[in-house]
Amino acid sequence: MTSTGLYKELNYVNASRQNRLRYARLVLNNLSLLPELIDILCMVNDKNSCRAAWILEFVCIDNIYSITPHLNKFTNNLKHIYLDSAVRPVSKICCLIAKAYCLQTSNPIKDVLTQIHKELIIEACFDWMISNHKVAAKVHAMETLFLFGHENNTWIHNELAIILQREFYEQSAGYKSRAKGILKRIKK
């Protein structure tokens, strides 16, 4: 499949897990499609942007290191992603990046993730936390912030705790449950 064919194929992607897995395997089997997928994701006002986010999420779940060569483009465009159906998978990708970065062993993410990349991810996650996004996006964002907050960045944990405590009573049970857990982990 060519990269222009990928855009057309995204018209057939739906929210079913099986369908998203099928298209993720297509990209995983031909990683030369990954830059095009990220380009489509960055077309934030296009209907296929959200579909590209769904596919990229499944690609990264299967192989988080595949995004490594594309971290500049991915992180530089985080601030532009605003649709809920794109924010949730993108916030999960950020969480997967943070988890890979925080591993004790050396890995491609740890080797290439720069301070600028981290700052862009942190900024986007804080924006998603204080914006009117769904709980799933906020849950992934809070986990990402918690993980990056361990790196001598106590200000991240302080700001995250303030946001979690401020919004605690206005949010759903799922948010409250995760927020309680994060707050306990921050206090340790």
Six token digits for residue 24 = 């993720």
Tokens of 97: 């990046």
* The pLDDT of residue 5: 83
For 151, the domain range is 74-188
116 and 41 in a common domain: no
With respect to residue 141, please indicate whether it lies within any of the assigned structural domains: yes
- The answer on 122 and 30 residing in a single domain is no
With bands split at pLDDT 50, 70 and 90, how would you rate the model's confidence at 1? low
162 DSSP 8-state letter: H
Question: Token pair for residue 158?
Answer: 């302080």
Position 68 in a domain: no
CA angle 14, 91, 42 (to 5 degrees): 65
Is 53 in the same domain as 135? no
Structural domains counted in the chain:
2
162 and 78: one domain?
A: yes
Amino acid identity, residue 88? R
pLDDT of 75-133, one tens digit each? 999 999 999 999 999 999 999 999 999 999 999 999 999 999 999 999 999 999 999 99
- Residues 53 and 82 occupy one common structural domain: no
Question: Do the domain assignments include residue 81?
Answer: yes
| Structure-block tokens of residue 169 | 């009573």
* pLDDT the model gives residue 15: 86
Query: Do 84 and 168 belong together in one domain?
Result: yes
**Euclidean distance between CA atoms 136 and 22, whole angstroms:** 23
Residues 58 and 79 in one domain: no
Q: Is the confidence at residue 53, as pLDDT, over 80?
A: yes
Shared domain check, 40 and 18: yes
pTM, rounded to two decimals: 0.94
DSSP string, 50-82: HHHHHHHHHHHHH-GGGGGGGHHHHHHTGGG--
3 state DSSP class of 147: helix
Are 79 and 47 found together in one domain?
no
% of the chain residues with pLDDT over 90: 86
Answer whether 49's CB lies under 8 Å from 90's CB: no
Computed over every residue of the chain, the mean pLDDT equals: 94
